[in-house]
């Protein structure tokens, strides 16, 4: 399967009558694209709107074909998979059971094959296959959440703050996993607050502030730009 190309044009989304995003346009080409921005900027809202979890207007095109709004299962069928903020694992279920749930739209044979692939990609999870997800460390739980999202064999993976609340070494490990997934042929669109580390692994980036994009470009250029450095990276 080939990585997806996402194009978003004139997107608006919010909650009830309250619009968080207005007229937002962006692209995620094959590789790793990061969305940066302060708390409350609308990053999670963007991923939820793309995944079909909240209403939106505007165009979302996956390889040029429109993705219907408010239809999470259509999004998964079209190859889109979300790792939600805060992981949202089933704490009282085992690692294996959580992973199996990620393959909810797949056949039993596909699920079995992908479970073996997940254990090959995440050897730590194979050792913990029968452990209750809620008893694992934050970093391990984040790994389960990523592996669960990969169980639908996505072509576009949406990752919402994978490093949230993790120790620095685990942050590095999760960001390396995101990079590996992109290199293996799944387009990744990742929201991150860990600006320096995210720009070091990403290909391209956008900066979202108060519901609007204020900067975009190759990750290395964003890391050098004075606006990003002043707002997010601090003095060197
Ligand atoms: P964070 O890093 O804090 O998660 P974010 O950039 O992901 O920030 P969002 O979670 O998308 O921001 O929130 C954007 C705005 O939408 C905020 O003002 C927030 O209060 C509001 N908001 C988020 N979720 C809801 C909801 N379920 N109902 C109403 N308003 C919401």
User: Per residue in 36-68, pLDDT tens?
Assistant: 999 999 999 999 999 999 999 999 999 999 999
Q: Within 10 A of 90 (CB to CB), how many other CB atoms are there?
A: 14
Ligand 1 centre distance from Cα of residue 111 (Å): 33
Whether residue 28 contacts residue 206, with contact meaning beta carbons closer than 8 Å, is answered with no
Ligand 1 centre distance from Cα of residue 219 (Å): 25
d(CA 82, CA 26): 18
Of all protein residues, the one whose alpha carbon is nearest to atom 27 of ligand 1 is 15
Q: Which atom of ligand 1 is nearest to the CA of 208?
A: 6
Ligand 1 centre distance from Cα of residue 75 (Å): 22
Q: Which atom of ligand 1 is nearest to the CA of 191?
A: 7
Does the complex come out with an ipTM higher than 0.90?
yes
Structure tokens at 122: 């995440």
In Å, how far are 42, 120, 135, 155, 224 from 181, measured between CA atoms?
25, 13, 26, 10, 25
Whether residue 21 contacts residue 13, with contact meaning beta carbons closer than 8 Å, is answered with yes
pTM, full prediction: 0.95
Q: Which atom of ligand 1 is nearest to the CA of 161?
A: 2
d(CA 182, CA 215): 22
Q: Which atom of ligand 1 is nearest to the CA of 193?
A: 2
pLDDT tens track, the chain, 236 positions: 788 999 999 999 999 989 999 999 999 999 999 999 999 999 999 999 999 999 999 999 999 999 999 999 999 999 999 999 989 999 999 999 999 999 988 899 999 999 999 999 999 999 999 999 999 999 999 999 999 999 999 999 999 999 999 999 999 999 999 999 999 999 999 999 999 999 999 999 999 999 999 999 999 999 999 878 887 876 55
* Residue ranges around ligand 1 (CB below 6 Å): 15, 20, 37, 39-45, 85
Burial label for 217, CB within 10 Å (0-12, 13-18, 19+), is middle
Ligand 1 centre distance from Cα of residue 17 (Å): 14
With H, G, I as helix, E, B as strand and everything else as coil, classify residue 103. coil
Burial label for 160, CB within 10 Å (0-12, 13-18, 19+), is buried
Ligand 1 centre distance from Cα of residue 126 (Å): 35
Which distant-in-sequence residues (6+ apart) come within 8 Å of 46 by Cβ? 11, 13, 21, 24, 35, 191, 208
Block residue for tokens 């409350």: 40
With H, G, I as helix, E, B as strand and everything else as coil, classify residue 195. helix
Ligand 1 centre distance from Cα of residue 39 (Å): 8
């Amino acid at each position: 399967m080939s990585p997806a190309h996402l194009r978003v044009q004139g997107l608006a989304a919010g909650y009830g009558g309250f619009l968080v995003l207005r007229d937002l346009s962006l692209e995620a080409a094959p590789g790793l694209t990061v969305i940066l921005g302060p708390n409350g900027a609308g990053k999670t809202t963007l991923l939820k709107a793309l995944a079909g979890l909240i209403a939106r207007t505007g165009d979302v095109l996956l390889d040029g074909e429109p993705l219907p709004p408010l239809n999470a299962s259509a999004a998964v069928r079209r190859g889109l998979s979300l790792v939600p903020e805060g992981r949202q694992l089933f704490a009282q279920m085992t690692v294996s059971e959580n992973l199996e749930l990620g393959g909810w739209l797949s056949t039993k044979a596909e699920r079995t094959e992908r479970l073996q692939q997940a254990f090959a990609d995440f050897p730590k999870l194979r050792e913990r296959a029968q452990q209750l997800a809620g008893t694992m460390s934050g970093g391990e739980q984040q790994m389960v959440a990523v592996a669960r999202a990969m169980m639908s064999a996505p072509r576009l993976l949406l990752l919402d703050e994978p490093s949230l609340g993790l120790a620095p070494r685990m942050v590095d490990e999760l960001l390396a996993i995101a990079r590996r997934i992109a290199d293996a042929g799944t387009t990744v669109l990742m929201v991150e607050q860990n600006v320096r580390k995210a720009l070091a692994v990403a290909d391209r980036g956008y900066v979202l502030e108060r519901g609007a994009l204020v900067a975009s470009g190759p990750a290395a250029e964003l890391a050098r730009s004075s606006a990003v450095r002043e707002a997010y990276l601090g003095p060197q």
